[in-house]
Structure 1
């Protein structure tokens, strides 16, 4: 049977050794971020921890920002999986308002947890465009389920904005707002939008 053309969005196939190296490099990067912080993540440190040559890291990710973006993407995929098929209320099975509240809380915590990593991947647009598109699409879905009418893409974007690094930096770092205040403010915004 002839080889089929890949479908749009399919990951390109890779040799088994390349797949092992990629997995080892991502695990090493995630481990360094978790235990030492983003400042400790260098191409050399990741290569050493993964047991590969430094050239392998550069060939795979190009730059330190590329490496950070890949580590962030791996964490983002796990978060998305929890939204799509994890337990309620973040995952399916809860009422739409409960899911929206869980989404806001989870996204806030995730963004604060990964803020340094998001900044380190900055040249790649912080979170990737597909990751951003996923969150907006999910919020649109929840808003639709809550009976919200109007420009759902813009309303979803308005709800997402306070949960992104630049606005959280302004609130939590610059203004020294407690995280609970930020979440309460986000919930107030969500109530106003859903009350219509």
Structure 2
């Protein structure tokens, strides 16, 4: 297999896990519980196909451009495609195809499932790293925004704006980020410098700079 970078490239994506499906002998890459790519292995453990998902029109176009891109092996051949691992598909094109597959599968989930799969709240916080998580607080995604620091019975103002009012998956969809609501919701124990650093880190996790 010539695409030796593939495993590291996929596992660097947020929320991605991998496993081995022993019956098929496929290494599967998943976001949440949904597969978005696979390396199909023969009985000797040698890759013979890379499976990934594309929009039907894109997959059809690429199959006509590259003989090493085929209808999906053992898959829905409208949406899934197979790439020969020792073929001539350019590395950058394969990366774009894998990115597209990841985005398509993630986008097929509900907004709540997307946040859970990515392991972050709507504001980019990793709830599981919080000392209150699992005890005093169930986390933003699980509680519908009614986290430990929110007013009793109400959602955190950030969650209320982003998810409940604007129907975003996360604040990443908002052009005003970081907004005044973000700046008003803060840990009082943080210094100004620490708070600014936390905003920068959360924006980075949301894919914003």
> If the length of structure 2 is used for normalisation, what is the TM-score?
0.24
* Structure (1/2) with the larger helix percentage: 1
Higher relative contact order (CA 8 A, sep 6+): 1
Larger Rg: 2
> If the length of structure 1 is used for normalisation, what is the TM-score?
0.25
